[in-house]
Amino acid sequence: MGFFDVINVYGLLFAIVLIIPHIVYARTHNYDLSAVDNRAMLYISRIGKYCSAFLMAVNIGVLEEGFTSPKIVMKSFWLISISVMTILCVLLWILFFKKESKALAYAITVMSAIIVMFSGLLQVKTLLLTAGIVYLIGELYVTSKIIK
């Protein structure tokens, strides 16, 4: 088993691009986490976010089948579609940094979750798909409480 059997380089790049705006936002903006009255949902959101990033980057071998059709065709489709969606997500983040709105926050949350779930579906990674669903549920709740 080689290094590239364990580390998904493209998935790692997508995970980094998806996580960096969260880090920048947390460093540059003050937001009150006490507004989230349900701490369990805050933890669910965080677990979903970080598990999604980890599972996009690392192939753990549990509940993973790989691409379903010829690898070159499906991998190319995955790379192109996820790249386009990631660029759209970054553009949404740029708009959000310029003018914070609840609609943009929800759009970022949904687009990020779709990227994760779509990656899980195309690569047949059941845990990644599940982490994407957990991330979507938790992050929608946290977004509804924090963004005014």
Q: What is the pLDDT of residues 83-135, one digit of tens each?
A: 999 999 999 999 999 998 999 999 999 999 999 999 999 888 899 999 999 99
- Of 46-50, 67-71, 119-123, the poorest mean pLDDT is in 67-71
Place of tokens 């946290």: 142
State phi, psi for 65 to the nearest 5 degrees: -110, -25
Beta-bridge partner residues of 26:
none
Distance between alpha carbon 6 and the CA centroid of its chain, in Å? Answer: 19
Ramachandran region, residue 28 (left: φ > 0; alpha: ψ -120 to 50; beta: rest): alpha
Contacts of the segment 62-71: beta carbons below 8 A, 24+ positions apart: 62/127, 63/125, 63/126, 63/127, 64/123, 64/124, 64/125, 64/126, 64/127, 65/123, 65/124, 65/125, 66/123, 66/124, 67/122, 67/123, 67/124, 68/124
Residue 29 scores a pLDDT above 90: no
What's residue 123's pLDDT? 87
Mean pLDDT score across all residues of the chain: 89
What's residue 64's pLDDT? 73
Higher-pLDDT residue of 29 and 11 is 11
Residue 61 scores a pLDDT above 90: no
What's the predicted TM-score (pTM) here? 0.90
What's residue 2's pLDDT? 62
What gap in Å lies between CA 2 and CA 25, rounded to an integer?
36
Nearest CA to 53 out of 21, 84, 26, 30 is that of 21
What's residue 98's pLDDT? 94
Calculate mean pLDDT across residues 7-14. 90
Calculate mean pLDDT across residues 52-64. 85
